[in-house]
Structure 1
Amino acid sequence: MSFKRRENFRPTDKKLILVGSKNPVKISCTEDAFTRAFNSSFLVEGINASSGVPEQPFGERETLLGAKNRAHNSREIFPEANFWVGIEGGVDEDEKGMYAFAWIYILHDSGKSSQAKTGTFYLPIAVEKLIKEGMELGKADDLVFNTENSKQQGGSVGILTQGVINREEYYRQAIILALIPFLNKELY
């Protein structure tokens, strides 16, 4: 499906979900999360949508803003969808060191929105050092762990858990948590 020309849009029985990224991991986990949550199939497509934040967001606010911007910018590009999803990974620090997490932000065609955050995990000192020097987490992982394009595969979480939790699984749970208000409309 092409999103450059809106006249190519053909309504189907399936609801359309746009993910504000072309990253195959983000698209796949969104499709799986929506399918599991609603026990239904969806048409899920990725679209290049600006996060409006630095390549490596730092802190809760900046990371959540990136997820919100991706969802809202996806809606601006293609308003005919039913849901727009923004997924933004970020880092922050505390007394134990630097940790990673992601925010999920979901918009519905009704105007309702919701958000949820993944779990957090601490990054190795070598990765932390590269991020502090200005490198994005995925690139830092590739350099430290001698991998290529890890952020479109298992990501940091996959590398550090030795594949027990991959990036898709990591995001999926938070997407489902962000869907709670849509699954329980009478409560929200």
Structure 2
Amino acid sequence: MNFKKRENFQTSDKLLILVGSKNPVKIACTEDAFTRAFNKSFLVEGINAASGVSDQPIGEAETHLGAKNRAHNSREVFPEAHYWVGIEGGVDEDEYGMFAFAWIYILARDGKTSQSKTGTFYLPKAVTELVKEGMELGKADDQVFDQENSKQQGGSVGILTHGVVDRNEYYRQAIILALIPFVNENFF
């Protein structure tokens, strides 16, 4: 983000949302989700915000913490925004294999927070083996499926569903669910 844009934020009639990532998929799905949930336009920008967790979070707690940290660290960098959004993808294992998911964490200017989790899906054994060796999921997908920078496109979910559900759609639904307390303030 440059400082020229920063000045425009203060004069714009649109509310500003900062996404704790420069990933174009995360920025686009956040804009779409907020627009749908509130039925109005927003100014959405991405910012590099530290997750404070490993490059490939494992388990619910680490993944949720990464999303929360991205939102809070975005606020530290740019406190003038109206909302800060952290999106963090993670993996975990159960008796059926390794599965992927993401946590969404939203922080509002008034201090209210909310979170939601995407659905889960299982990963192929070839991808699972690379992740267990320490490779980040996006890089493992690129290697197994002969892709390039797939995490800034359809991601694992897009590859495995043959584009029926892409990463944008996958995150968008969870962001809308995380916005429930903000669009139903009388109940939360």
In the superposition, the TM-score normalised over structure 1's length comes to 0.97
Name 1:97's counterpart in structure 2: 97
* Superposition deviation, residue 35 in structure 1: 0.3
Distance across 1 between alignment mates of 2:147 and 2:6: 38
Give the corresponding residue for 2:33. 33
> In 2, are the aligned partners of 1:87 and 1:104 still within 8 Å (CA)?
yes
After TM superposition, give the deviation of residue 3 of structure 1 in Å: 5.2
Aligned residue pairs, count: 188
Aligned 8 A contact 2:9 2:16 in 1: no
Change (3 A) 1:30 1:5: closer
Amino acid at match of 1:30: T
Kindly report the root-mean-square deviation, in angstroms, between the aligned alpha carbons of the 2 structures: 1.4
**CA positional deviation for 1:2:** 1.7
* Partner residue in 2 for 1:120: 120
Give distance in 2, aligned partners of 1:13 and 1:4. 17
Query: TM-score normalized by structure 2?
Result: 0.97
Q: How do 1:165-180 and structure 2 match up within 5 A?
A: 165-180=165-180
Give runs of ≥4 in structure 1 deviating > 2 Å. Answer: 3-11
Identity %: 79
What is the SS of the residue equivalent to 1:110?
A: coil
Question: For residues 28-58 of structure 1, what are the alpha-carbon distances to aligned partners after superposition, in whole Å with 9 as ceiling and x for unaligned?
Answer: 0000000000000000000000000000000
Paired residues for 1:70-149 under 5 Å: 70-149=70-149
Any conservation in 2 of the 1:3–1:78 contact (CA below 8 Å)?
A: no
Alpha carbons of structure 1 residues 102 and 187: separation in structure 2 relative to 1, 3 Å? same
Deviation at 1:11, TM superposition (A): 2.8
Partner of 1:54: 54
